[in-house]
Amino acid sequence: MRERGRLITIEGIDGTGKTTLARRLEGALNERGVDVMLLREPGGVDASERVRQLVKDPGLRIGARCEALLYAAARAQLIEEAIVPRLAAGGWVLLDRFVDSSLAYQGGGRRLGIDQVRTLNEFATAGLRPDRTLLLVLDAAGARARSRARAAGADRLEREGEEFFARVERAYGSLASREPDRIRILDASLPRDEVLASALAALADLG
């Protein structure tokens, strides 16, 4: 019987370098002979990419509960269509954001409650959990400066204020303290090569 693959997620507030790490980590794992697929949230499959357009659009007014439900819906489709088949075939999935993002952003940032958002996502994911989560940590001011420096315009969430991101940051910290075996903290202020090396070290026992 084929061994189930691994689900690796990358988390952190906007501006910590998640997407950069995800792309570099994909390359590094491939070089080491790991059959890995990089996906993002929300998105990754057609229906979920359409939801992404909605939740990212700064011109739309979307309530907190609606936002949480949209993220969960996009996640459910991605899991069913791409993640579960990939894991069942023995491949690895590297995912740029997952449930922890909803717990931090909607549960903490939007004040919906981490436990309430977790319950919603238990249904959306059918209980699927990451084998390892890499949490990139950078002080909020530094992360916001990086985020503002991007060429593309800010999306709905990136336009939120400092208090919102402070709540998100605290929520991530709480999640990491609850599950230290799964969630490994990486210092996002380090040079990119050092962050990549730390990420690879955090995955070494999953081989």
**CA nearest to 144, candidates 165, 114, 123:** 165
pLDDT digits (tens, 9 = 90+) for 16-50: 999 999 999 999 999 999 999 999 999 999 999 99
Burial of 201 from C-beta contacts in 10 A (0-12 / 13-18 / 19+): exposed
Query: Is residue 1 in some structural domain?
Result: no
Question: DSSP of the chain, one letter per residue?
Answer: -PPP--EEEEE-STTS-HHHHHHHHHHHHHHTT--EEEEESS-SSHHHHHHHHHHH-TTS---HHHHHHHHHHHHHHHIIIIIHHHHHTT-EEEEES-HHHHIIIIIIIT-S-HHHHHHHHHHHHTT---SEEEEEE--HHHHHHHHHTSSSPP-TGGGS-HHHHHHHHHHHHHHHHH-TTTEEEEETTS-HHHHHHHHHHHHGGG-
pLDDT digits (tens, 9 = 90+) for 137-188: 998 666 666 666 555 667 888 888 899 999 999 999 999 999 999 999 999 9
On the question of pLDDT at 110 being above 90, the answer is yes
Query: Is residue 184 in some structural domain?
Result: yes
| Cβ pair 102, 117 in contact under 8 A | yes
pLDDT at 128: 98
pLDDT at 143: 67
Query: Is residue 37 in some structural domain?
Result: yes
pLDDT digits (tens, 9 = 90+) for 68-83: 999 999 999 999 999 9
pLDDT at 75: 98
Domain count, the chain: 1
Averaged pLDDT score across all residues of the chain: 93
pLDDT at 207: 73
Query: Is residue 68 in some structural domain?
Result: yes
Global model pTM greater than 0.85: yes
pLDDT at 2: 61
Query: Is residue 140 in some structural domain?
Result: yes
Query: Is residue 2 in some structural domain?
Result: no
CATH number of residue 65's parent domain:
3.40.50.300
- By residue range, what is the domain housing residue 33? 7-202
When pLDDT is averaged across residues 103-120 and rounded to a whole number, the result is 98
Query: Is residue 100 in some structural domain?
Result: yes
pLDDT at 147: 63
Query: Is residue 207 in some structural domain?
Result: no
